[in-house]
Amino acid sequence: MAQVDLKNVYKTFDKTPVVHGINLSIAHNEFLVLVGPSGCGKSTTLRMIAGLERVTSGEIFIGGRLVNDLPPKARDIAMVFQNYALYPHMTVYENMSFGLKLRKFSKEEIRKRVEESADILNIRELLDRRPKQLSGGQRQRVAMGRAIVRHPQVFLFDEPLSNLDAKLRVQMRTEIKKLHQKVATTIIYVTHDQVEAMTLADRTVVMRDGYIEQIGTPQELYETPETRFVAGFIGSPAMNFIPCRMIENGGNLMVQLTEALRFPVPAGLAKPYRDFLGKELLLGIRPEHITEQRPHEENEELVDFEADVEVVEPMGNDTMVNFTIAGVEVWARMEPHAAPPNAKSLGFMVNMNQMHLIDPSTDKVIR
């Protein structure tokens, strides 16, 4: 079983701590994504699992075996790098088979493994070409094929799509997802792109400044972020954060944004917010939960308001609209024809059932 466990793992470079006591368990056959901004420690964590960086303290287990002191070649892992790392003078076949030759596999076994991997990745017709004759996406497939032929316990991906253009990234995301379905093994994948994290992962680990900020399925991170950082990092476009104050009106809680603009808090969400009456908070609401006004029954969840429009950005399948509340930029996602390009003022509807309230003193989402 290719379970990977990190127990209280620290990494320090020249007395500068970069990974702070990570505890993480990755199940056999799980696709786990480490995501976060540059410098958060995600690639360093991956490199410690691979054996390319030594652990300062803590323990790493792969398949139940302590691997802290094992070299990379003894850990039964395969790594796919950002820059492909292909030998330019070798053919695709030679690149994919090179590691097996070093391990003294028979020619028959090597050919079998290379051809099986080539079929999985649809690159059999490329086996006689050299890297310079390949596109970026084809080179990435070859790099993945070189990893597949080893039949490792764990695949490690270090930002493998960052050198590709936007269209090819979408295509390769699909290929990597298919790969996981065909080659049932554990995958640990590092990226700074939250879209990759959302679309690929069984579970996602959001990292920040060397710490794990939150772990969960992509949907859990989207719907129930625990901190302002996770709320703003997961989701595209990012969540809006608007300063507000919690007030009470006739026994009902309301979020006051300006003197003239107040949104009622749905009764089902109100209980944890009563302790914050009169306090300065942040209202977190995603752009997709602020839309054009539509016919609806009067209720506490869907609230209509109007605002002066700053920018209209037609996107084809929807339109992004920018306006301000209390001097803070806010984005709404509307139907394609709901916002004319020259609109000056529009009616909006906010779904308060999707609200998040954040305590700015702790940056924690109030639950």
CB neighbour list of residue 248: distance below 8 Å, 6 or more residues apart: 254, 277
* 3-class secondary-structure state, position 341: coil
Which stretch of 70-79, 268-277, 297-306, 343-352 has the lowest confidence by average pLDDT? 297-306
Residue 21 burial class via C-beta count within 10 angstroms: exposed 0-12, middle 13-18, buried 19 and up = middle
Task: Tell me the C-alpha distance between 91 and 80, whole Å.
Answer: 18
- Average pLDDT in the 193-215 region? 95
Q: Where are the domains of the chain?
A: 4-228, 240-365
pLDDT score of 305 = 95
Residue type, 169: R
The residue type of 168 is: L
Instruction: Name residues whose C-beta falls within 8 Å of residue 229's C-beta, 6 or more positions apart in sequence.
Output: 206, 208, 213, 363
Write down the architecture of domain 4-228 according to CATH: 3-Layer(aba) Sandwich (3.40)
CA distances from 166 to 123, 141, 162, 195 (A): 21, 17, 9, 12
Give the torsion sign (CA, 99, 103, 107, 110): negative
Average pLDDT, the chain: 93
| Residue 284 near residue 251 (C-beta atoms within 8 A) | no
* Domains 4-228 and 240-365 belong to one CATH topology: no
DSSP per position, 265-330: PPGGG-GGGGGGTT-EEEEEE-GGGEEE-------SSEEEEEEEEEEEEE-SSSEEEEEEETTEEE
Determine the pLDDT at residue 85: 84
* Count of beta carbons in the 10 Å neighbourhood of residue 103: 10
Share of the chain above pLDDT 70, in %: 99
* Interval 85-144: pLDDT, tens: 899 999 999 999 999 999 899 999 999 999 999 998 889 999 999 999 999 889 988 999
- Is 90 exceeded by the pLDDT of residue 250? no
pLDDT at 271 over 70: yes
pLDDT at residue number 56: 97
Split at pLDDT 50, 70, 90, the class of 286 is very high
Which listed CATH number (2.60.40.10, 2.40.50.140, 3.40.630.30, 3.40.50.300) goes with 240-365?
A: 2.40.50.140
More confident position, 244 or 184: 244
1: pLDDT confidence band, cut at 50, 70 and 90?
low
For the segment 48-55, the average pLDDT, to the nearest whole number, is 96
